[in-house]
Amino acid sequence: MGTEKYVIVYAAGKQLDLLRSEAFRIAKAAKAGWWTDRAEVGTKFCFEDAKAKDTFAHACNNFGITCREG
């Protein structure tokens, strides 16, 4: 698939549910796929589209959820 576009978030429970919904909405608008994987610490949200990844990272910041882009 080439270079992975992902954001690792440090959230759990309802915050993680909120982020899953947001990732779905962003990926659908971009007509791109997305999925989650476990990270060493946190959850990795992977996107097929770089712009969708950037939008998701911005949404995390807006929600006040700590994240790290990869």
pLDDT band (50, 70, 90) for residue 3: low
Write out the residue range of the structural domain in which residue 32 sits. Answer: 5-69
Q: What is the CATH number of the domain that holds 16?
A: 3.30.70.600
Interior/surface letters 42-60, b for 16+ CB within 10 angstroms, e for the rest: bbbbbbbbeebbebbbebb
Task: Look at the chain and report how many structural domains it folds into.
Answer: 1
Per-residue pLDDT of 22-53, as tens digits, reads 999 999 999 999 999 998 999 999 999 999 99
Give the percent of the chain with pLDDT over 70: 96
